[in-house]
Structure 1
Amino acid sequence: MKKGVLLVNLGSPESPTPKDVKPYLDEFLMDKYVIDVPFLLRALIVRGIILQTRPKKSAAAYAKIWWDEGSPLIVLSKRMHKKVQANTSIPVSLAMRYGKPSIESGLQELHDQGVTEVMLFPLYPQHAMASTVTILVLAEEIRKKKFPNMNFTILPAFYNQKDYIRDLSNSIKKHLEDFEYDHLLFSYHGIPERHIRKTDITKSHCKIDGSCCHTPSPAHEFCYRHQCYETTKQVVEFLGIPEGKFSQTFQSRLAGDKWLTPYTDVEINKMPAKGIKKLAVVTPAFVSDCLETLEEIAMEANHEFKEHGGEEFLAIPCLNDDDDWCKTLSRWIDQWAFAQTETAK
């Protein structure tokens, strides 16, 4: 029984061109866990409408953040992977849900090293259909078809793990040392409200009102909204940020559906009129900087904030390949490997 780990992040187009962005968006948006409507309707929305104009716009956005080494998400994930592997003795592979390196290639890499026990490690702090679930479903489909002798252990959402909260909080603190902020905004990636209800294992708790996320329930194990609020709560407590000096919003949304509110762009544009002139924004739904953090927040939100009267704007980087964070990941891996060995005795 040889153990190994598959780290899985979101993914990226191979280049910031419409030619490469289009198939990436097709794979992403045609995922039934992202746009969760019947196939024919999804195909009409995605291939009949979105992909007619979005690839060119998205390619232009990617071009603004692209690095000489390639996609920031891929580059940063590879740096993180290298540090994590250096701190653990068991094989660790890296994969992306969309694009390359694929989940199949990551599992093949582990298989070629004789691995039969795999920890599946979605690199998302909070659980969601469009991130965690789609990774787990695809990985299981590939396992059954290509690697039937492999066994999976799933790393659950780590939004409330003390090590993660400490590393995230310390990273925020470090970047705020030289920035006298009026307000700290926690901006999480948005999802449709129906996704919250679909992942409610009680089928009754999630009302998406002012109380359900703060009322104890088994539903919280898979509730993205609750887990976002809990992440914010624990970081704020760790850093001792007073009430009124922080808030939480949700960014990125598609038209036509009710998505989690309040919306990041709407709230940011209101802030200067409320006296918030120096704004810091952190994006804890991501562990690696990507289009949503580097372009949507660091560029577009920055610009809009200043257009509405803001003076200074700080986009706090994700954890990326932070040394402490990479050591935490390696420690979690070692703890899992030890527990597996003890169980097998």
Structure 2
Amino acid sequence: MENKNKTGVLLANLGTPEAPTAKAVSAFLSEFLHDQRVVDMTRWLWCPLLHGIILPVRSPKVAKLYQSVWMEEGSPLMVYSQRQKAALETVIDMPVELGMTYGQPSILSAIESLQAQGCERILVLPLYPQYSRTTTAAVFDKLAKSMKGKPVIPEFRFINQYYDDKAYIDALAQSVELHWDANGKPDMLVCSYHGIPKRYADNGDPYREHCHDTTERLIARLNTDVKIKTTFQSRFGREEWLQPYTDKTLEQLPKDGVKRVDIISPAFSVDCLETLEEIAEQCHDSFMEAGGEAFRFIPCLNDAPAHIDMMRQLVERYTQGW
């Protein structure tokens, strides 16, 4: 079918290993952790540490974690991302491709596919509601690098964030309300966001403020007497990351009389290792062992109709005038 308006959409996410094996995990982590947007340590210090210690030690461990959540169709992040792409294509009249900052399908392959479909203009939608140098900016870097040396580049528009978008907040609230309708309300709803080093935020990364703003908007939208708390998960290394930490918070809550907890991860557009294993398994066990009575994980928005409709609205808004 001819692409009459010559505009396409690139959905961008982080990426995932191609298989739940130590070899595949090592290849993925190597590309991911080489990115200075993610780890800004001096290369002559970082690279020997990464290749000599971190990858050989962590890759087999992380591979086992992936094995515990791997789906029949593949990695959860990839499976849900592909479902998002397919669903979005049914509600907008333009091609949609999926590209990952690390691994496959690459940003470059997605752009080339859109160009092959006649796209001269590409809207880039990084699926990170809250902006961070470690995620959104990394997509921009990979986009620019992918176009280096190309004789002709498309016209791009780039969505930096949508943490305060009404349709996004409504989709989050709907997922919580549906969960509460089915299961009853908890003592507390924990909003667990992926962490970043505190130093990054102190040096100007707006991610911390975006996360707290999302929670405040969700609180206003839900208008509930349930306590709601913001925490940060998935820290790595020895330096201080954004606090309060999700795992430490969940270990303390039963001691403070909070026995029933629901947890949601608003920074993740799709379920992945960090939600299905770290939150739904590790954090569940920590909370229950600390004296909790009920721990329920609310899945990410994935390809829920409200989430896809939010994407549709973003696409329509940002492609106006093209």
Structure-1-length-normalised TM-score:
0.89
Deviation per residue, 1:241-270 (Å, 9 max, x gap): 34x712111001112211111111001001
The one of 160, 176, 179 equivalent to 1:175 is 179
- Given the alignment of the two structures, is residue 71 of structure 1 paired with residue 82 of structure 2, yes or no? no
Q: Does 1:271 align with 2:271?
A: no
Which residue of the partner structure matches residue 21 of structure 1?
25
The one-letter code of the counterpart of 1:253 is R
Q: Report the residue type matching 1:309 in the other structure.
A: G
Spell out the pairing of 1:2-21 with structure 2 (5 A cutoff): 2-21=6-25
Instruction: Tell me the SS of whatever aligns to 1:184.
Output: strand
> Aligned equivalents of 2:247 and 2:172: distance in 1?
23
Gaps of 5+ in 2: none
Instruction: Indicate conservation of the 8 Å contact 1:125/1:285, yes or no.
Output: yes
Residue type at the aligned position of 1:252: S
* Structure 1 residue 273: Cα displacement: 1.1
Structure 2 contact 136–160 (Cα < 8 Å) conserved: no
The amino acid of 1:232's aligned partner reads: T
Describe the superposition over 1:98-129 as per-residue Cα deviations: whole angstroms up to 9, x where unpaired.
11111111001011112121111100000011
Report whether the alignment pairs 1:160 with 2:164. yes
Separation of aligned partners in 2, 1:147 and 1:118: 17
Q: Is the 8 A contact 1:103 1:139 kept in 2?
A: yes
1:98 match: secondary structure: coil
The answer on whether the counterparts of 1:277 and 1:309 sit within 8 Å (CA) in structure 2 is: yes
1:146 paired residue number: 150
Q: Which residue of 1 aligns with 2:218?
A: 235
User: Aligned equivalents of 2:93 and 2:188: distance in 1?
Assistant: 42
- CA drift of 1:96 comes to 1.0
Question: Hey, what does 1:136 align to over in structure 2?
Answer: 140
Letter in 2 for 1:229: H
Deviation of 1:147 after TM superposition, in Å, equals: 6.1
Do residues 297 (structure 1) and 279 (structure 2) align? yes
Partner of 1:223: 206
Q: In structure 2, what is the equivalent of residue 188 of structure 1?
A: 193
CA RMSD of aligned residues (A): 1.3
* Cα separation, 1, equivalents of 2:281 and 2:127: 24
Structure 1 stretches (4+) deviating beyond 4 angstroms? none
Q: Is the 8 A contact 1:119 1:152 kept in 2?
A: yes
Q: How much does 1:30 deviate?
A: 1.0
Q: Distance in 1 between matches of 2:220 and 2:263?
A: 17
Question: Aligned partners of 1:15, 1:278: CA distance in 2, in Å?
Answer: 35
| Mean CA deviation greater in 290-299 or 92-101 | 92-101
Question: In 2, are the aligned partners of 1:85 and 1:330 still within 8 Å (CA)?
Answer: no
- Name the counterpart of 2:41: 37
- Other structure's SS at 1:280 match: strand
Contact 2:250/2:283, CA 8 A, preserved across alignment:
yes
Question: Are the counterparts in 2 of residues 143 and 150 from structure 1 also a CA contact under 8 Å?
Answer: no
Question: In 1, distance between residues paired with 2:106 and 2:263?
Answer: 31
Deviations 1:123-156 (A, max 9, x none): 0000011100010011012123336331211112
Residues 157 and 318, structure 2, Cα contact 8 Å, conserved in 1: no
2:308 to 315, 321, 326: 326
Q: Name the structure 2 match of 1:100.
A: 104
Return the letter of the residue paired with 2:31. E
Give the Cα–Cα distance (whole angstroms) in 1 for the partners of residues 150 and 124 of structure 2.
16
Give 2:191's aligned amino acid.
Answer: F
Match of 2:117 among 94, 113, 137: 113
> So what's the TM-score if we normalise by structure 2?
0.95
Correspondence 1:312-323 to 2 at 5 A = 312-323=294-305
Q: Using the TM superposition, give the Cα deviation of residue 45 of structure 1 relative to its aligned residue in structure 2, in angstroms.
A: 2.7
